[in-house]
Amino acid sequence: MTTEAPRQRATAEDSSAYGESLADVYDSLYPASGPAVDSMVAFLRELRPAPASLLELGVGTGRLAIPLARHGYRVHGVDASPAMLAKLHENDPTGEVTTSVGDFGALAVDERYDLVLTALNTFFMLPTQEQQINCLRGIHDALADGGAAVFETYNPQVYHRLTEATTRVGHLAPDALLLDTIQVNQSLQSVLVVHTIMDSGRLRKVPEVSRYAWPAEFDVMARLAGLRVTGRWADWDRSPVTDQAEKHIYVVERQSV
């Protein structure tokens, strides 16, 4: 079932192209079950328990939204890619998650949510600081009284310290290979990852561009949007942040008047 809860201006062409290109292999890249998903669900259940309402930005194929709905959350997902959402509905045949197509960087909502989730580096896929601040402003307006927004991002140190192009190889299936080529522009805080997928004799390339924000910068952008960071951890298990951490988990709430 598709609803029109958050109204969107569908201008995220890059995000849409990324999703359209990877929708058929996305579930292989990011499995919808396992310890990572379980720990995320446990984190959110402690933060705001079900049956809280939850808006996921960049919902993809439902890797997180579907388990959350099955744990009693009322979940709506936004994504720029119709192909991603079509795959989500295949994965969710009972229609527990409602969706809409749109640009989460220009978010405007009619409903307010107890939780807003932006997982798996999605926030960094907004390519400019201005767009990231606009997204935070939209999240501010989307939060219900007492609500919280949760962000999962990579630790900028992971990429910022790369001074040369780097290649990583992964296996999608017995007959499918993923080759990632990573280039970093430190002055622009920009990362270009070219995903090369080789399967069944076919080869395709999918570019992914992200703009990372340092923790202090994220704090300032949140404040400009009327929000404040109330927690930061290195993973869903609430482990402390270190320079070696692979990711950051932020919890953000509205500023007190």
Please give the pLDDT value at position 170.
Answer: 80
User: Residue 118: CB partners within 8 Å, gap ≥ 6?
Assistant: 56, 57, 58, 104, 135, 139, 149, 150, 151, 152
User: Residue 169: CB partners within 8 Å, gap ≥ 6?
Assistant: 177, 178, 179, 180
Q: What proportions of the chain, in percent to the nearest 5, are helix, strand and coil?
A: 30, 35, 35
Per residue in 42-54, is it b (16+ CB within 10 Å) or e — as a string? ebbeeebebebbb
Domain ranges within the chain, ordered by starting residue: 6-155+212-254, 158-209
In angstroms, the CA 101 to CA 79 distance is 5
**CATH number among 3.40.50.150, 3.30.360.10, 3.40.50.2300, 3.40.50.720, domain 6-155+212-254:** 3.40.50.150
In angstroms, the CA 100 to CA 181 distance is 32
Please give the pLDDT value at position 133.
Answer: 97
pLDDT in tens, 126-169: 999 999 999 999 999 999 999 999 999 999 999 999 989 999 88
> How many C-beta atoms lie closer than 10 Å to residue 252's C-beta?
26
Residue-level pLDDT, tens digit, the chain, 257 residues: 444 343 333 334 555 666 676 777 666 666 666 788 999 999 999 999 999 999 999 999 999 999 999 999 999 999 999 999 999 999 999 999 999 998 888 887 889 999 999 998 999 999 999 999 999 999 999 999 999 999 999 999 999 999 899 998 887 777 788 888 999 999 999 999 998 988 877 888 888 899 999 999 999 999 999 999 999 999 999 999 998 999 999 999 999 76
Fold (CATH) for 158-209: N-terminal domain of TfIIb (2.20.25)
Please give the pLDDT value at position 191.
Answer: 95
pTM higher than 0.85 for the full model? yes
Note whether 102 and 81 are within 8 A (CB): no
